[in-house]
Protein backbone atom coordinates (compact mmCIF):
# COMPACT_ATOMS: atom_id res chain seq x y z
CA UNK A 1 0.00 0.00 0.00
CA UNK A 2 2.90 2.29 0.89
CA UNK A 3 4.52 1.63 -2.48
CA UNK A 4 1.26 2.37 -4.27
CA UNK A 5 0.94 5.62 -2.35
CA UNK A 6 4.51 6.54 -3.23
CA UNK A 7 3.93 5.70 -6.91
CA UNK A 8 0.83 7.92 -6.90
CA UNK A 9 2.80 10.76 -5.36
CA UNK A 10 5.56 10.44 -7.95
CA UNK A 11 2.99 10.37 -10.76
CA UNK A 12 1.37 13.53 -9.43
CA UNK A 13 4.77 15.18 -9.00
CA UNK A 14 5.64 14.22 -12.59
CA UNK A 15 2.41 15.70 -13.90
CA UNK A 16 2.91 18.85 -11.83
CA UNK A 17 6.42 19.19 -13.26
CA UNK A 18 5.31 18.55 -16.83
CA UNK A 19 2.48 21.05 -16.44
CA UNK A 20 4.78 23.67 -14.84
CA UNK A 21 2.84 23.85 -11.58
CA UNK A 22 6.02 23.07 -9.64
CA UNK A 23 7.93 25.71 -11.60
CA UNK A 24 5.32 28.28 -10.58
CA UNK A 25 5.58 27.25 -6.92
CA UNK A 26 9.37 27.56 -7.06
CA UNK A 27 8.97 30.98 -8.62
CA UNK A 28 6.64 32.06 -5.78
CA UNK A 29 9.12 30.77 -3.18
CA UNK A 30 12.08 32.40 -4.86
CA UNK A 31 10.42 35.79 -5.29
CA UNK A 32 8.56 35.51 -1.96
CA UNK A 33 5.20 36.64 -3.33
CA UNK A 34 1.73 35.14 -2.99
CA UNK A 35 -0.06 33.61 -5.95
CA UNK A 36 -2.03 36.23 -7.90
CA UNK A 37 -2.78 37.10 -11.51
CA UNK A 38 0.14 39.56 -11.41
CA UNK A 39 2.52 36.98 -9.93
CA UNK A 40 1.47 34.42 -12.54
CA UNK A 41 1.97 37.02 -15.26
CA UNK A 42 5.49 37.71 -13.99
CA UNK A 43 6.19 33.98 -13.79
CA UNK A 44 5.04 33.40 -17.36
CA UNK A 45 7.14 36.30 -18.58
CA UNK A 46 10.26 34.93 -16.90
CA UNK A 47 9.52 31.33 -17.74
CA UNK A 48 8.28 31.64 -21.30
CA UNK A 49 11.43 32.88 -22.87
CA UNK A 50 13.33 29.82 -21.63
CA UNK A 51 10.50 27.39 -22.23
CA UNK A 52 9.64 28.45 -25.74
CA UNK A 53 13.29 28.20 -26.73
CA UNK A 54 13.31 24.52 -25.85
CA UNK A 55 13.33 22.31 -28.86
CA UNK A 56 10.35 20.05 -29.22
CA UNK A 57 10.66 16.77 -30.89
CA UNK A 58 9.05 15.42 -33.94
Partner 1 sequence: MNKTASIFAWGAVGLLAAAAVGVVAVHRGEPINALWLVVAAACCYALGYRFYSKFIAAKILALDALRATPAERLENGRDFLVTNKWVVFGHHFAAIAGPGPLVGPVLAAQFGYLPGTMWVLAGAVFAGCVQDFVILLFSVRRDGKSLTEMAKEEIGRVGGFVAYTAVIAILVILLGVVALIVVNALKDSPWGTFTIAMTIPIALLMGLYLRRIRPGKVLEISALGFILVLLAIWGGQWASQHPAMARVFTLRAPTLAILIMVYGFLASALPVWLLLAPRDYLSTFVKLGTIGLLAVGIVALHPTLHMPALTRFVDGSGPVFAGKIFPFAFITIACGAISGFHALISSGTTPKLIARETQTRMVGYGAMMAESGVAVMAIIAACVLQPGVYFAINSPAGVVGQTAAAATATISSWGFPVTAADMQTLAQAVGEQTLFNRTGGAPAFAVGMAHIFSQSLGGAAVMALWYHFAVMFEALFILTILDAGTRVARFMIQDALGHLYKPLGRTSWYPSILATSALIVAAWGFFLWQGVKDPLGGINSLWPLFGIANQLLATVALCVATTIIVKMHRARYAAVTLGPLAWLVAVTFTASWHKVLDPNPRVGFLAQARALAAAPATSATAQLVFNNRLDAAVTAVLVGMVTLVLIQSVRQWNLVLSGREPASVKESPFVMTRLAEDRG
**What residue ranges bind partner 1 (CB under 8 A)?**
10, 13-21, 24-27, 29-30, 35-37, 39-41, 43-44, 46-50, 52-58
- Measured from the CB atom, the residue of 1 and 57 that comes closer to partner 1 is 57
Work out the number of other CB atoms within 10 angstroms of the CB of residue 32.
6
Question: 43, exposed or middle or buried, with CB in 10 Å at 0-12, 13-18, 19+?
Answer: buried
- Tell me how far, at minimum, the Cβ of 1 lies from partner 1, in Å: 19
Classify residue 56 by its DSSP letter.
-
- Tell me how far, at minimum, the Cβ of 3 lies from partner 1, in Å: 13
Amino acid sequence: MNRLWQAGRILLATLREIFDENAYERFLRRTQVASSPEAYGAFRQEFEEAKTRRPRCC
